[in-house]
Structures are given as C-alpha cells and as structure tokens.
A and B are shown apart, each in its own frame.
Chain A
Amino acid sequence: MNRPSLPAMRHALRRVRSLAVLGLVVVASGCASDAELDTLKPRSDVARQIDNLLDPVLYVAGVVMVIICGGVVWLGWRRRVKNYEDDEFPAQIHGNNTLEVAWTAIPAVIMAIIAAATVITQLAVSETEANAMTIEVDGDARTWEPKVVVVGQQWWWEYRYYFDVDVTEDWLGDPLDLPVADIVTSSQMVIPTGEEIELLVTSRDVIHSHWIPALNGKRDARPGFFSPWKLEADEPGVYFGQCTEFCGVSHSRMRMQAIAVTPDAFGEWINEQMQPAEVPADAEDYVAALRSGEPSPMGETDVASARGLAAFVDNCSSCHLVDGVNDHDYQGASTETGSAPNLTHFASRTTFAGGFFNLYNSDGTINRDDLAAWIRNPGDVKDNAADDLADGIAPRGMPTLGLSERTIADLVAYLETLGTKPGLDLIAATEVE
C-alpha cells in the first residue's frame, strides 16, 4: 500500500479548502436576491417556530453528512490499492455486535430527541387562540372573528370575509356552495398585523395548496372539505405566495399575496370594501333599469366607463359579479365551478388574473396593455382550459370572448372605476414580475 506523503496531503487539503470557499461564495451569490418565497426567512411566530425546529436538524444532518461522505472519501483514500496480490489480505472481520448495538442505539437516541422536538413544535403550531375584533363600518360596530375562508380554484385564490357570525364549518355548510360573504377579494388577502387569522381552506375544483412561506407552511385546499390553518404577520408588509399542489395547466401562474396592514389601516380597508360599486356618469338610468328588472339598452354616451358597464353586463356578468350591478339576477358563473372572481372592488387590488399580472404600472396608471391583452384572449397570456371545448363541457378559466378593441377599451375604463385606487407604495410593494 502506498501512503501519500504529508506535504502532498497538505496540498490536497488546501485545494479542498479553497474549493469549499469557492462553493460558499457561489451559494451566497445564488441566494442574494429578493427571494420573496424564501422558507428560511420567517416573519411570524409560527414560521419562526418551524424554522427553529429545522435549523438545528439541518446542522446535525450537515455534520452527519460530512462524517459519512468524508468517511467514504477518507477510507477510500487511505486504504486504496492498485491491484491485489495473492498474499495481501486484510483481517477478515465478520462483524462486531457491540458496534452494531451502538450504531443502532445512537441514531435511535438522536432521532428520539428530534422526535420530541417535533412533537412539541407540532402541538405548538397547531394551537389556535379564540379572539374577535370590532370594526366600525359606516358608524356600525361589526365584529369579526379573524377568520378568512380561502377558496382555491383553477387558477386563482378567493378570500371571503364574514362579519357578525361565528364562521364554523357547520355554519358555512357545503364548501362547494358557500354563503354570501360581506367582502370577497381575489389573489390578495388583507390581514391586520398582530392578529392570529384563522383560515378555512377549501377548493371548488381540484386540490390546491395555499402557501405564504414567510408566515406559515402550506395547507392543501381539498374540494368538499374545510382545512383549518392560521396566519399571523408581525409587521405590515406584503408576503408572497404560490399554489403548491399541482392543479393543472396554469399551476405555476396561480399566485397570491398576503398584505398585512396595521389594525387601523385594516379598518379603513374594510370600510372601503363595504362600499357599493360606483356607477359611472351617464349610466345611472341604465343601472336603475337593471335593478328594477326591466333592463333597457344603454343609450349612446361619450363616457367610456358607462359604455364599459353596458359591455360588462352584456359580456362578463354571466360569470363575474359586481355588487349592485348584476347581483339581482346573478345565476352563478357558467364556468365548471360556477364561480369567477368578484370584481366589485377590482381596482382596489394591485394584481389580476390569479395574481399573475400587475394591475398598475409603477407610476400608478392602470396597466392597460396587460389588462386589454387578458380580456382580448386570456388563454394567450395565461394557459387555461376555457376555449375549444366540446359540447357540454364548461370552461375552466376565462374564455376568449371575441370582443372588439373598442369594447375592450371601454371595459378597461369601467374596471378602473371599481374601487379605490391603491397608493403608490402598495403598488410598488406588491409588484410581480
């Protein structure tokens, strides 16, 4: 057996060390970026508990890895021979029971310690606290148990807020046919900081998974069932999320954000969302006729948003709901799931189409290009299963409606009137690429 000389080994060690340093630099540069989904940057108690459980195990695992993999390399290096000679046999050892017992027991003890920590953490993160908030809406005090019903659907998330009721599974009833909510928003969930929010996660079609990594782990949205989950944010901020259960053709484009604001700002947001949709100038008579159940066509008007309202009623209202416009005879969407995003406060959100596009440019003007492209041919900008369907099959996603450019422009003008425009700082913080 030829043993390597000491200087040669030192040289080899130095080379290994320089390689390791190089590796670290590469890893660091790879990680340096916005990394809004980073699982190792917890921003809430629950996420920190999870991280505190994982970190020491990662270190232990790292040490074991170095020992075993290093052991393989070291043994291989030390004991290597080029060829076998007939008289060159190592000691023929068949085993050693003491060793076997030791290396059965030691890993078992290590695992037992990890197991105990896991059970403790699991129980801690499963705990929920009962609390309730009072929010003044138009002078009335409304109570809100901080609960949000989260509904996954191909390929967007809906968040439903209910006031003055005890939102339990029993009260909600059929997860595929939920009671009318006070506030419905999509792809952006607004929550107050410092409050533990209970989520009741469900789905209208396939299984999705709701995940805001900075705040908590993920929870599957299972059709027909409510899965309880919780979120809490320490600080105001925007926390990015992504659907993580494979859910079909636009799974990668099903995104969401949790926007945490101070309790005061949350109250303001609630008030704003409780306002009915504004009726564009020149369209009052038209809406009054709609509400009275005797719709008459919109007369000629120079107001684009008024024409857009009429176009909305003609083209969009069989799926999308705007409170006060088509709620009186809204039959439910003609999509597979009977639902499409509620657009009553569309313009108060900063993303659209499942959190995939920015609704506003960074200067605060509406992102006309993407919005018009989406209305023109949704499947072109985000894969879906809404067009070219056989008879009797309902669309999943938004179909191509074949609207004229003028109608599209009118619709954009109308959509822009729906809700209070968000501030520039929120637009910047929620920007998706």
Chain B
Amino acid sequence: MAIIEEPLALTSGEPAVAERPLGVLTRPQGGNGWRDWLSTVDHKRIGIMYGAAAMFFFVVGGSEALLIRLQLAFPEQGLLSGQLYNEIFTMHGVTMVFLFIMPLAAAFANYLIPLQIGARDVAFPRLNALSFWVWLSGALFLNSSWLVGGGGADCGWFCYSPNSGIVFSPSHGVDFYALGLLIAGIASLVSSINLIVTCLNMRAPGMTLFRMPVLTWMLLITQFLLAFALPVITVALFLLLFDRLFDSQFFDPAAGADPLLWQHLFWIFGHPEVYIIILPSFGIVSEIIPTFSRKPIFGYSFMVFSGIAIGFMGWGVWAHHMFVSGIGPISVVAFSLATMFIAVPTGVKILNWLATMWGGALRFTTAMLFATATVAMFTIGGLSGVTHALAPADTQQTDTYYIVAHFHYVIFGGGVIGLMGGCYFWWPKVFGYMLDERRGKWHFWTMLVGFNLTFGPMHVLGLQGMSRRIDTYSSGFGFEFWNLVSTIGSFIIAISVAYFIYNIWKSKREAVDRPPPGPDPWDARSLEWSIPSPAPVHNFDYVPVIESQDDWWFRKYTINDDDKVVRIADPEMVAQKGDATGVHLPSPSFWPLVLALGLPLVAYGLIFNLWLCVIGGILAAVAIYSWALEPVDDPDAHHDDSDGDGADDLPNDPALQEASRDDGGGG
C-alpha cells in the first residue's frame, strides 16, 4: 500500500529547468488571502468551503421550511398562494437534500478521508477543487431561479412527469431544477471517483482496508453509491430537459409515453440517495460513540459489512416509492420483501452501537449527545419505514404526513443530528478551537425537542389522513392541533440552529483566552488526532506506518497481561508536531473555478439565449485546455529537495521511485 507523493515532472538526475510556458498558465502560490481560497486544491480548505456553503443553504432551506410551517399552522391560511407554496416546498426539499446534507457530508468526506487514511491530500486535488466549484455554481444557479426564472421549481423534489412538463409547469422553475441538478451532479460524480481512488490508492503503509476507520468505510460506500446513482438521475434530467426545451416526447402520454419511466429513473437514483445521505452520519456516529465510551467499536467487521450490505440492497428497493403507481402485484410483493430485509443490516448497526456503549464509560459531551440521539431518532424512522414496507398498508400511508414524519426521522434524525455531532467532534481539529460545551448542550436539547415536536406529530397527522404537499387544509378533519404543535416545534429548531451559529461565533471569540485544544482533545482513536489542531497544510510531517486498527489509540495505550489498559505515552508527546518544512504539496490552480463558471452560463443559455451557451462553452473549453497545459507544479516552488541537489527527495525504496515515475501526476 504505497503512499505516492505528488511526483515532479522531472526524474532524478536531470537538471531542474524552470519552464514558464505562458504567464497565465503559471501555477499560483499558496497563501492565506481570499485569492488562495479561490485557487486552493487543499482538501481541508475545500472541505471547509463545502461545510460553510452547506450551512448557508441549511439556513435557506430552513427558512423555506418555516414558511411551510407558518402556512400550515392553522387551517385555510392564505399566507402563501398555492403556486408559491408549491415552489417553496419543492425548493425546500431540493435545497435540503442536494445543497445541505450532501455537501455537508462531502465536507466531512473531503476533510477527513485523507486524514483518516494517512494521506497528504486526495488523489486528484484539482478535480477536488472542481467538484466544489461546480457544485457551488450549480447550487447558486438553482436558487437564482427565484430571481431570474420567475420563481422556483413547482414540481416537488421528485418532479413527476407529466406535471413537470412545459404544459403543466410553464415557468422556468423546472428548467432551473433540471440544469441545476445536472451541474451539481457533475460535482458529486467527479468527487465520488476522486474519493474512491483516494481510499483505494492513497492509504498509508499498513493501512489495510480493514484497518480503515468505520467513518472512512461508510464514506467510501457512499462514494460508490454516488458513482452509480448519479448517472441514472442524469439520464432522467436530460430526458426531461429535452422534453421541455426541444419538444421531445419522452414523457408525453398523448404520444404514448408512460409516466412511470420518470418514476423508475428517479427512484433508482432516489433510493440509494437516502443511503448517500444517511451512511456518512452512520460513520460519524461510529467514531464518536467508541471515543466517548472508551471502548473500541463493537463488531467492526459487522459494522463495515452491514454498511456494504445496505449499499447493495439499497439498489433493490426503489419501487417501494411506487406501490400505488400501478406496477402490478408481483412487483409490489418483490419490492415489499426487499424493503423489509434491508431493515436487517440496519438493525445490526443499531445493536452494535448499543453494544459499544454497553459496559462503557460514557462521557456525554455534546458530540456524544448528538451521536446517541442519532441512534434513537434513526431507530424511530427505521421502524416507521418497516410499516411502509407492508405494501397494502403503504397504500394508506403513502403521500400522507406519515411519510413526511418517516423520512424526516431518517434524514434529520438519522442524518442531520449525526452530522451536527460530527461538527462538535471535529471542530477543534478543523479550526483549532473547541465549540463551547455548555452552549452546545443547549443547542442539542433545543434541537432534539424541536425536532420531535415538529416531526413526531406528523405521524398522527398522516394516520389521520392528512395528505402531503397540500398548501392548506380544511378544519374539521382533526388536523388543527398537531399542525400547530409542529409549527411551534419548527421554530424551536430554528432557534436551535441560530444558537449553533451563535456558539460558533462566540466560541471563536472566547478561544483566545482558552488553552488550545491540542492534537487530541477527546482522547480519540483515529489518525487525524495524531496531528496538530488545526491540521497543518501538509497533514502529516511523515507518513505514519499503521500497525493495527485504531493505530493512534495504540500509540497512547497498551493492554497489559491482565487485560488492563495502560497509558504508554502522552498524546502531546507522540503526536506529530506539524513543523515539517519543504513538504511537496499540489500547487493551487484557478482553472477549476473558471471551468465551474462556464457551466451555469451554458445553463442560462439553454433557457434564455443560446449565445450565452457559446460564451459559457468557450470559457469551459479554455479552462479545460489551460488545466491540461499548466505545469504540474510551480517551477519556483521548493519541494522535497531538502538536500539541495536539484532532485526530488524520493524515498529510498527503488520500487516506490519506480511507481512514482509511472504515476501520471495528480489532479
């Protein structure tokens, strides 16, 4: 498992000639100004930008949720028109799924995968930057439909045809939806390939696959799901766009099309998407619970394989979204059974978390509170999921608030709450200061109470027969009380999120008076805690050699002959110092950003004026060629040439040198 450093263009022995082909193609130098953020290829900075942008869209999508809840607080309210309500609930769903949870999970994946496997960066650093900028341009493009597209998409996040067709949705909202998701999809696809290669090829010596932390495993599975799911939605979105822009008839029933085509394509993507959202959170919980139980994860290999099983089985359950669509009783039964049995590996995970806590010494930091709440809340969502798997019963439940309750318990309870725990856990590693624990606990409890008040009552509403996606409801059906409770709950969540943001700001201000957190503030187990906080730009001074699972923990502790844990070293002493100099790092580049700017121009062009496509296309083409032509490194930068002989200081192992020469160069 060789760790392959970014190679130089020159092999040893030849003179180093600083070539500068074209001024514009010179690689920018690293630094700390805003320009350096725009050109960064550092996986940590990219992770931070993903996280910050995701939090911004969390506020956007959350505001949309509050408008929905205000409208439904009382029966027959006219706060929003029917049309505006449809746009807002559509954009709420799209924003939360594609612009909040996925990028927040991407933030963790980008930041943590290289650190957890002992790598200096991801496999293709410039592609990583491209992923972020393309995702951001898609996200901003999607939301720009509020300003220039005559409102948001009004077809629901699932955008069923023919309701998404030009006849039934004549504004540009759906075009923005399709193009925006296509652009964002490019980002996720590129990123998934990048991170898969990183996990498979960049692990430190000794870091075998089955020594990887569970989080890295879950993120790896997520990347595989993305790589296979995104092409499907891409096809579907292309068909939709051709129908809308060029009068094709893929989804026109009058021309003989079957509207189920869209549903199958959408849910073949859409169901794995659920696991794309939830598995990163499972991984985070699997890191936090062992740390604060002072025990290793219970049943590591079962945890990993149940994740893999979920990843596989997730592909065979999509039609459970279509039990009432008219797919025939045999299909219904088949998908019903497949759906039930996906509960088994999920149950294994839950029980393993409990077994990890069992007999442990549980320290309830904010992160631990969030992690344990994730286990409990996800369990509720999983159990209501079993009740939908009963296909005949689902004919009563589907498209009611019972479903809304279910998937919010899964996605918010299982996903967002876990990611929040991850924020508290890794905050000191990323930013070098701790989030205040006392305020964090307030954040936790308000969020937990608000969450349950918001989504718990929806179970009752759904069983009482309240349909989803209705912009208002009449009094007399018994919907009034629980809707009001739900609205109150949603505002408690809003307060809780605001308090989280306040906690970030306030903790940062207080950090100057507090001792720095040190490399390993939680006494944790994985490699990222063996380097200083915040993580230095080069990650590791030297590439660690891994001898076991939880390698970092075993550098601090050993188990003596009486099976007692004995401390053998102080973390400060064994941690890397982060003071290595002359570490060869990938050079920054502006071209990913330029390429990302071209794509929304093409998209605007498809909607408004094809000439814009030409401009966007030229921009993208220039960026691609410049990317290919710019030098691999800034010729003036110093790399691994610490002995000054003009050659890269490659490791002394000839095999490694050979490998590094064969490697075509990153990014």
Contacts and interface: CB of A to CB of B under 8 A. Distances in A.
Contact of B351 (A40, A103, A154): A103
Given A252-B471, A383-B81, A227 B359 contact: no
Contact of B324 (A50, A61, A81, A209): A209
Contact of A92 (B156, B398, B468, B563): B563
A111 B357 CA distance: 26
B465 A396 contact: no
12 contacts: A34-B478, A58-B387, A68-B354, A84-B523, A89-B361, A108-B341, A206-B162, A206-B163, A223-B259, A245-B160, A246-B163, A252-B473
Given A38-B464, A108-B344, A122-B329, A72 B361 contact: no
Contacts, number: 314
A224 to B, nearest CB: 4
Nearest to B81: A383
Given A75-B357, A80-B363, A217 B478 contact: no
Contacts of B38: none
A315 to B, nearest CB: 25
Nearest to A226: B326
A236 B257 CA distance: 40
Contacts of B162: 205-207, 223
A1 B294 CA distance: 14
A90 B294 contact: yes
Contacts of B333: 118-119, 122
Interface string B435-478: 00000000000000000000001001011111111111111111
Interface in B353-388: 354-355, 357-364, 372, 375-376, 379-380, 383-384, 386-387
A176 interface: yes
The 5 closest A-B pairs by CB, nearest first: A217-B395, A37-B465, A252-B470, A33-B478, A224-B253
Nearest to B385: A61
Nearest to A47: B396
Interface size class on chain B is: 35 or more
Contact of A115 (B300, B337, B469): B337
A101 B394 CA distance: 30
Nearest to B165: A206
A246 B375 CA distance: 32
Contacts of B301: 95
B89 to A, nearest CB: 9
Contacts of A291: none
Contacts of A34: 476-478
A432 interface: yes
B167 interface: yes
B467 A242 contact: yes
Interface in A1-16: 1
Interface in A251-295: 251-252
A71 B354 CA distance: 8
Contact of B376 (A72, A99, A122, A249): A72
B476 A433 contact: yes
B336 to A, nearest CB: 6
Contacts of A206: 160, 162-163, 168
B348 A100 contact: yes
A122 B334 CA distance: 11
Contact of A54 (B300, B360, B362, B393): B393
A269 to B, nearest CB: 26
A88 interface: yes
Interface string A151-189: 000100000000000000000000010000000000000
Contact of B298 (A93, A176, A220): A93
Contacts of B485: 30
A396 B462 CA distance: 29
B379 A79 contact: no
Q: B296, B464, B481, B482: which has the most chain A beta carbons within 10 Å? A: B464
B400 A107 contact: no
B387 A54 contact: yes
A37 B464 contact: yes
A143 interface: no
A21 interface: no
A38 B166 CA distance: 36
A47 B465 CA distance: 14
B465 A213 contact: yes
B161 to A, nearest CB: 8
